Every structure is written in structure tokens, then in C-alpha cells.
A = this chain, B = another copy of it.
Amino acid sequence: MSRATDRAYAGIRNMILSGELPAGSQLGEEALAERCGVSRTPVRDALRRLEGELLVKRNEAQRSFVAAWSLADVEDAFELRAMLEGHAARRAAERIDDVTLEALRACNNAIGRAVRADPPDVAGFLEGNREFHAVILETAQSRRLASLLGSLIEQPVVWRTAHHYGREALRRSHSEHDELLAAFARRDGAWAQAIMASHIHRAFHAYADAHHGLSAIDGPRSA
């Protein structure tokens, strides 16, 4: 996208994630435009995009609000992600070539280095993790699947989870990726799918554990 639209999108997104705009608060186009330093037009584009990602919801009168995420919503998102990314992993395993496989190995090695650093390099882990999953999604060669997953993997609640991971959880994630690589090397789609689904489900429980009882740390959550 272009500069102003990106600025509006990133700005609004950050305001929501940081809790500056709490769940349920109204998002007036004009107010947002002023805060982002752009006009209403790019703000409208950004709101539509965020609405597609379910970060923003609109009432019947077309007014926009910050969406509230219950624990059930989060579980829902993870469940769908497990299903779709599992499917992506299966397709990837059936289609991957040796060059891509090697690239994935390199990527996971980088993740390994980030995990072993002292203190663990969470930003590096997140970037490597994002890249790893992105390559798999691309290898799955399904534009539709990519489009569907796009609105799920960018979810704040998902990637923020890693900030609550201990070193042990990070290490486990890294080793699950290794197992995934083994499945890819054997071109075993069913295996890859099972590992990926398990990988995502574990991530959900890491999230649930980290947030169970904690409150007001993570902004948009209603229950």
C-alpha cells in the first residue's frame, strides 16, 4: 500500500495493540485521521482492512469500535489456524523442493541461535518464526489459503504470546520446527500436517497459561 494508508493502518493497529484504544472504544474516522496525520480516506481503507482482520468491528449503523476478544475468541482463532496451517504444511510437504527445504533449515537454525542467546532474542525468534511459516505457506501454493490465513496469523494475540514464552517454550517451538523439517524431507504430508496442528495447539495453551489470571496486560480482551 501507499504511504498514507500504511501510516493509518500501522497507527491504528498500534493504538489498539498498545491498549491506547481499549476494547469497545469508538473509532471515529475524523479523530483517527487527525491522530495519524492523514485524511479520512486512508483511514477508511485502514479500518476496512482491520475489520477484515476482525480487530475492528462495526455496529449496524456503520460505526467502528475496537473489537473485544474473549478467551473463546482466541481459542477459536487458534483452532482455525491449526486447521489451515496444518493443511498448508501437508500441501507444502507434497510440493517442497530441495532448495526451499534448505532455506527452511537455515531459517530454523537462525531461530535456534536466537533461542540460545542470553538473554533469548525474542525479536529474532519472532522474525525467524514469521519467515518460517511464511515460506511454508508460500510452498503450499494456494493463493486462497494464503489469503485466508493472512487474517489469522497477523493477529496480535497470536504473536504477542511469544513474549510470555520462557526459554524452554522457545526451545520446544524450535525443535517442533525441526520435526517439521524431517517430515518435509520425507515428503510426508500427513506427518507434517499433524506436527503443525500440534505446534499451533501448543501455542494456544502457552497463551492460555500465560494469560490465565493475568489481567490488563494485554489490552483488548473482554473476559
Contacts and interface: CB of A to CB of B under 8 A. Distances in A.
Instruction: Determine chain A's interface SS by DSSP, over half rule.
Output: helix
B152 A144 contact: yes
Interface string A135-176: 000000011110110011000000000000000000000000
Q: Which bucket holds chain A's interface residue count?
A: 20 to 34
A85 to B, nearest CB: 12
B151 A54 contact: no
Copies of this chain, count: 2
A52 B137 CA distance: 18
Given A54-B147, A147-B151, A83 B87 contact: yes
Interface in A106-157: 142-145, 147-148, 151-152
6 contacts: A54-B143, A54-B144, A77-B144, A80-B145, A83-B87, A144-B152
